[in-house]
Amino acid sequence: MKAVGLYRYLPIDDPESFLDLEIDMPSPTGRDLLVEVKAISVNPVDTKRRAPKDLVEKTPRVLGWDVAGVVKSLGPQASLFKPGDAVYYAGSIIRPGGNSEFHLVDERIVGRKPASLGFAEAAALPLTTITAWEGMFERMGISRTGAHAGKTLLIIAGAGGVGSIAIQLAKKLAGLHVIATASRPESKIWVSALGADHVIDHAKELAPQLEALGTKEVDYIFCLNNTDRWFPAFAPIIKPLGRMCTIVSAQKPVDLTPLMGKSASLSWEFMFTRSTYQTPDMIEQHKLLDQTAAMIEAGVLKTTLTTHLGKINAANVKQAHRLLEGGHTLGKIVLEGF
């Protein structure tokens, strides 16, 4: 089967950073689904896994953790889907990725594709939706049913993939007052269109901009960019008993002492934790993707696809990585078909 993969971890402009390959077709076992891949999305995690390093793979490494496709066959213990079902999912970081014609995935982290979306539109959603959902509703404990309606959420980097769905979930499900950061005119327009109540500039200091809005402190902070840069600014602007979550690993120690006086808490969100450690609640990702599909079909949420780069091949995957490494993308980048 066709795939896009690598043997060496190289700068994206190197001719061998990604290669068009022919690899063996996998067979499902256990609770696996064999999915015919129709569309994929590319995420920052892809660029981090491909980042240059002194390692050479003996067999090709296939990346890619956002897929929409059709179930072709099942492992003997799979029961949630049947052949022919259209699905979408983000896969597992410890297994081969989905940049291939066929892909194996545990059914417990797979949702039914929203019927109202095409495969490309659906592929834009899984990884970022799971990250936003878990970060807000599970890590920070925000109510999905409006119990915390009216409280204020600050989203750092609102125009990216996670921010684009987090704004929608925070407004449509939780009923929060959302302040998102963005710096370029087009990104400010984008986050406002998604439902952000206010937009502030993350190229400037946060506290004075919040004060100008009459919001000296916020109830929640969702950090989607550069924890090292932003964390020092959080203690002064988080409310007493406030909650924060970041999805970006820190490159140096994080001093939590400034949070003590306010009894504020910090959580990490990594959407691959459940699949990596096979946690007992792994099926919660199946459930939340199904709930998301229902909300999309009802018109409550919308896809975050902004850039369609064409077919799934090495050249187009390289271009997606270039765009992500440039740091100025809106929403999600998608490729479709082989």
Distance in angstroms (rounded) separating the CA atoms of residues 218 and 123: 33
Long-range pairs for 19-25: beta carbons < 8 A, 24 or more residues apart: 19/60, 19/314, 20/313, 20/314, 21/60, 23/60, 23/62, 23/100, 25/1, 25/102
Q: Verify that 148 and 264 share a domain, yes or no.
A: yes
Q: Are 118 and 142 found together in one domain?
A: no
Any idea what the CATH number is for the domain that residue 117 is in?
3.90.180.10
State the average pLDDT over residues 10-39.
97
> Given this model, what pLDDT does residue 24 score?
96
Same domain, 52 and 142: no
> What percentage of the chain exceeds 70 in pLDDT?
100
**77-81 average pLDDT score:** 98
Is the same domain home to 149 and 260? Answer: yes
Q: Tell me if residue 246 falls in helix, strand or coil.
A: strand
Comparing C-alpha atoms, which of 24, 46, 45, 25 is closest to residue 36? 25
Check whether residue 262 and residue 167 sit in a common domain: yes
Same structural domain for residues 155 and 171? yes
Provide the residue range defining the domain that includes 52: 2-125+273-336
Residues with Cβ < 8 Å from 232, sequence gap 6 or more?
A: none
Helix (H, G, I), strand (E, B) or coil at 258: helix
- pLDDT tens for each residue of 97-155: 999 999 999 999 999 999 999 999 999 999 999 999 999 999 999 999 999 999 999 99
Query: Cα 37 vs. chain centroid, distance in angstroms?
Result: 19
Over 90: is that where the pLDDT of 328 sits?
no
Q: Is 158 in the same domain as 243?
A: yes
Q: Under a CB-based contact definition with an 8 Å cutoff, are residues 289 and 305 in contact?
A: no
The total number of structural domains in the chain stands at: 2
What confidence tens digit (pLDDT) does each residue in 240-287 have?
999 999 999 999 999 999 999 999 999 999 999 999 999 999 999 999
Q: What contacts 291, CB < 8 A, 6 or more positions away? A: none
Please name the residues in contact with 257: beta carbons below 8 A apart, sequence gap of 6 or more. Answer: none
Tokens of 326: 């440039």
Give the domain-ending residue among 268, 298, 324. 268
| Per-residue model confidence as pLDDT tens digits over 183-230 | 999 999 999 999 999 999 999 999 999 999 999 999 999 999 999 999
Domain match, 171 and 259 both: yes
**260 shares its domain with 155:** yes
Of 252, 268, 284, which one is at a domain's C-terminal end?
A: 268
Whole-angstrom Cα distance, residue 315 to residue 76?
37
Residues 239 and 278 in one domain: no
Domain edge (last residue) among 249, 268, 287: 268
Same structural domain, 121 and 159: no
Asked whether residue 182 falls in the same domain as residue 259, the answer is yes
CATH of the domain at 172: 3.40.50.720
